[in-house]
Homo-oligomer: A and B are copies of this chain.
Amino acid sequence: MDRITPVILCGGSGTRLWPRSRKALPKPFLPLVGEASLFAATLARAADPALFAPPVVVAGSAHLGLIESQLAEGSGALTIVEPEGRNTAAAIALAASRLPEDAVMLVCPSDHHIADQAAFADAASRAAALARGGWLVAFGIAPARPETGYGYIRRGEALADGYRIERFVEKPDFATAEGWLAEGGYCWNGGIFAFRAGTFLEELGRHRPHMAQAVAEAVRAGREEGARFHPDAGAFARIVAESVDYAVMEQTDRAAMVEANMGWSDIGNWQSLRDARDGDADGNVIRGEAELLDCRKVMVETDGPRVSVVGLEDVIVVVDKGEVLVTSAKGAAQVGKLKGAASQ
């Protein structure tokens, strides 16, 4: 059986993790859970040579140094350098164009956390089996709560290794999310996909012919530079940015899913980061010098100054390079709106 090719996407700005995440050192390259960066953990998760071929990394030029310093010597990785960000459909299409058409791709965002490695590998194997059968496969994350910040997938009829997708649904309101949780059959759309390179390009050509053409031209006119590939900037600039969900997965009639219950988090903001870390008996999570008095479910992260917290619950304090952020857990989703986050 052919091995799976991990395709690691390094886009996104992560302003909701300001002031820790900044443009120069964004979220994938920070050791937010455990000792390794999320990017390094993503690579490690798909590094078993029995199951996985060398990865393809798609990234902007600003972070090439960070990326290549974390790729192991002789890893055989290919890095595709995007002239500018054009969202996930184009990024995946670039990777697909540089692979044999029978290669099974496993598309992974570089800034997610997955606690259960065995469950991930198991889901990847099932997804690959479906992909070999010509399906475009999404990972459906077993929903842990009535989350309103994610898109959902409605499960359809059963297949040998998963399910057809009945439909993709947009971020719901809270009552709707609660109803889906009670009803069952709904999963979070984790942004992880598997398909054969050829199948993907075929479906892209069917549903987004202009994008498929522009990508093909950007690849044809591109240049290799060692383990880097530079698509042609002029052709790439003509692409309209769209997510793979919108451009392909929601359009195709070959959409399938595997269910994955693997301790997944997109670490989308400080609250989800707190939840992904192990807390003490009071649920407090501390990195750096801190003293907590009469606190519960408080997270402190400081790069130096001592932080003392008294009498609070569900509050997050971050001190990083001279910026101090204090947010309620619930307010964490708004952090990207702060002037500091917007103007960094």
Q: A338 touches which one: B293, B317, B335 (CB < 8 A)?
A: B293
Interface with B: A3-11, A32-40, A184-192, A304-312, which one? A304-312
Whether the pair A337, B307 counts as a contact (CB closer than 8 A) is: no
Q: In angstroms, how far is the closest chain B Cβ from the Cβ of A340? A: 5
Residue from A291, A306, A324, A338 with most neighbouring chain B CB atoms (10 Å): A324
* Residues of A near any B CB (own CB < 8 A): 19, 291, 293-294, 302, 304-312, 315, 317, 319, 322-328, 330-332, 334-335, 337-340
A322 to chain B, nearest CB (A): 5
How many angstroms from the CA of A340 to the CA of B292 in the assembled complex? 11
- What number of copies of this chain does the assembly contain? 2
Known: A338-B308, A340-B308. A324 touches B319 (CB 8 A): yes
Q: Is B302 a contact of A327 with CB atoms below 8 Å? A: no
**A312 and B315 form a contact (CB under 8 A):** yes
How far in angstroms is the closest Cβ of chain B from A170?
24
Q: Which residue of B lies closest to A320 (CB)?
A: B305
Write the chain B residue with the least CB distance to A290. Answer: B324
Residue from B304, B306, B307, B337 within 8 A of A293 (CB atoms): B337
A325 to chain B, nearest CB (A): 5
A327 contacts across to B, CB distance below 8 A:
308-312
Give the distance to chain B from A32, nearest Cβ to Cβ, in Å: 19
Contact indicator B309/A326 (Cβ below 8 Å) = yes
Which chain B positions have C-beta within 8 A of A330? Answer: 311
CB-defined contacts of A338 to chain B, threshold 8 Å:
291, 293, 308, 310
